[in-house]
Chains A and B, each alone.
Chain A
Amino acid sequence: MLALKNISYKYEGTTRTIFKDVNLEFSPGKVYTIVGKSGAGKSTLLALLSGLDVATGGEIVYNGENLAKINRNHYRARQMGMVFQSLNLIPTATALDNIVLSMNISGVGGNKTRALELLKTMGISPEKSRRKILKLSGGEQQRIAIARAIAHNPPLIVADEPTGNLDKETEGKVLKIFENIAHEQGKCVIIVTHSRRVTTIADEIWHVEKGIFRRFDGNVNAPQTQKRRRK
C-alpha cells in the first residue's frame, strides 16, 4: 500500500543526512510502530509519509503512484489521517468544528452527529466537544486530534506520539480503537511512540537510529537488521 524506496532525506540548509537509502513497506490491516531516540527522525519520516515534505532522494509509492508526482492535497485530504506530535488543532475553534472542518475538507461531508459520536468514543462529552480547544486539557486535545485523523475514514492513519499525554486507562481505550481500525476495518496504522505499551498492539515494530531502520521481532532488546532492502 505504501512503500519507501531508497529514501534519502536532508533538511534544507543542513549537512546532516537524516535518512539514507531507507526501504520500508506498509500494508493494510496492520499496526506499525516506529520507535527511536529523540531526534532520530521519526517525525521527519511521518512528514514524508504524509506528503507534507518531499524526500531528497528515492521515492514513496502509494498504491502504485509516486507521492512526489501526485496531487498531495488530495492524498492528505482523503487517503490519510494524521495525528501531529504538536496536535495542530485550530485553537480558537471548538473541538466539534475542528472535526467537522476536517470531514468537509476530506470531502466526506461534515456531519455533526457523527462527529459528536466519534468524540464520545474518544471520551469527549458533547459539552466538551463544544468548547474551544484552548479550554481543553492536553489529554483531551490529544484525543480530539486522534478523532480528527480518523473522522473521514481514511485508509491510512499516521500518528506521532498519540498517547503521550494520556493516562493508562485512556491510553488503553485509544489503543483499542487503533487496533480495531487496523485489524477489524483493515486500515493501515503507523504510530510513532516512546511508549512500550503502544508497541504491544503492533504487528511490526521498527527502530530507527542514525537513519537506519531495524525491525524488532517481539524482543525489544534484540533488533534485527533492516529487511526488505532492495537493489
Chain B
Amino acid sequence: MYLLEHAMLNLGKNKGRNMLLLGITFAIITAIVVALSIFNATNLVIEETRTSLQSAVRIVPQMQTLGETGGTGGGQMITGQAAQNQATFTAEQFSDFANSDFVLGWDLQDTPRGTDAVFYLVSPLLLSDFEAELREKGLPENYAVRTDEAAFASIVAPVESLQSLAITFLAVVVVLGGVIMALLSVIAIRERKYEIGVLRAMGLKKRKVAFVIWAENVIITGFCFVLGMAAGNFLSQPISDNILAGQILSNADGESTATTLAERLASESADALSTENFSENLQIDILINATTALQILAISLLLASLVGIISVSQITKSEPIKILMERT
C-alpha cells in the first residue's frame, strides 16, 4: 500500500517528465481509440451488410455466368449483364414470383434499363427452396436466383478500404507508441537511478521497486485512457467521415452498376437513387462500445506493462552500491 502512496508522491514530484510522458501516452491512446473504434465500426457495418444482403436475392441470367470462366469474383459482371436483360420479366411476373412463403417482402424498381426486382427472403438458407419454387412457376433454366453480390461489393468497398486504413494505422501506432514509451522509460529510469539505488539500499526488493515504477506507469496510462477515450470519441467520427468521403470519390469512377438494394439500405424510401447518391449518404456511426473500450484498455495496459518490464530489466542490471557510488 505504501508503495502505491510512494508512486503517487513520485508522480507529483517530477512534473516536467511526467507531463511529457502524459502527453505522449495521451496521444498514443487517442490514436488507438480512433483507429480501433473505426475498425470495429467498419467491421460491424460489413457484418450487418452481409447478413442483410444475404437474404436479398435477384434473378440473373444464367447464360452469362456460364460464359464466364466460372469464377465467383464475377459478381459485378453478372449484375451488369443482368441489367441489360432486365426487361425479360414484367411487373406481373415479378409479383407472381414474390407471392411465396419464403419471401418476406420485395421491391420493384425502375432502372434506366428496365424493371428489376429484389426479393427479401425469410432466411438466407431458403435460397434453393425459393429457386425451386420459381422453377415450378416457370422460371426458365437460363435464369438463376442469386444473392446481390454487386450491391454488397459496392457498399462494402469504401468501408473495407477505411477498415484496412484503420488497422494499418492501429498497427503503426501500437508499434511506434511501444517503442517511444520504451525509450522514454529507459531514460526515466536512468534519471531515477539514484532514487532506485536509495530504495534498494534501504532494503526494498527489486520486485517492489519495479512495482512502484509499474504503478506510476499504470496511473499515468489510466489517466490518459480516460482522456484519450474522450478525445478519441470526438475525433474518430470526423476522421472516419473524411476518409470515407475520399474512398467514395475514388470508388465512384469505377462504378456503373445501379444496385437497388443498396439504395434501399441507404434510404428506406422507395425513391430510386443512383449509386453515387447512396454512397454520399453512406455514414458509419462510430460508437465506442464496451468491447472497444476494453480492447483499448487492454492495449494501453499492455503498453504500460511493457514499460514496466523494461524498467525491471534496467533495475536488475545494477546493484545499489554501484548506483550510489556512481553518484559520489
Residues of A within 8 A of B (CB): 47, 50, 52-53, 72-78, 82, 84-86, 88-90, 92-93, 97, 100-102, 104-106, 110
Contacts and interface: CB of A to CB of B under 8 A. Distances in A.
A74 B198 CA distance: 15
Residue of A47, A86, A97, A101 with most chain B CB atoms under a 10 A cut-off: A101
A100 B1 CA distance: 13
23 contacts: A52-B319, A52-B321, A52-B324, A72-B203, A74-B203, A75-B203, A76-B202, A77-B203, A77-B204, A84-B324, A86-B324, A86-B328, A88-B198, A88-B324, A90-B195, A90-B199, A92-B13, A92-B14, A100-B2, A101-B202, A102-B202, A105-B202, A110-B2
Nearest to B12: A92
Interface string B216-249: 0000000000000000000000000000000000
Given A73-B204, A74-B203, A77-B203, A97 B9 contact: yes
B319 to A, nearest CB: 8
Contacts of B320: 52
Contact of B202 (A77, A93, A110): A77
A101 B13 CA distance: 15
Contacts of A85: 328
Contacts, number: 57
A38 to B, nearest CB: 13
Interface in B182-199: 195, 197-199
B6 interface: yes
A53 B324 contact: no
B201 interface: yes
B201 A88 contact: yes
Contact of B201 (A82, A101, A104): A82
B2 A73 contact: no
A61 B2 CA distance: 32
Interface in B245-286: none
B201 A105 contact: no
Interface residues of B, number: 21
B135 interface: no
Which residue of A47, A76, A88 has the most chain B CB atoms within 10 A of its CB atom?
A88
Contacts of B14: 92
A100 B3 CA distance: 11
Interface string B1-33: 011001001000110000000000000000000
B113 interface: no
Contacts of A89: 198
A92 B10 CA distance: 9
B203 A53 contact: no
Nearest to A148: B202
Contacts of B203: 72-78, 105-106
B205 interface: yes
B327 interface: yes
Contacts of A106: 202-203
A69 B323 CA distance: 22
A72 B201 CA distance: 10
A82 B203 CA distance: 11
B204 A105 contact: yes
Contacts of B201: 50, 52, 76, 82, 84, 88
A86 B327 contact: yes
Residue of B199, B201, B202 with highest tally of chain A CB at under 10 A: B202
Nearest to A12: B322
A88 B197 contact: yes
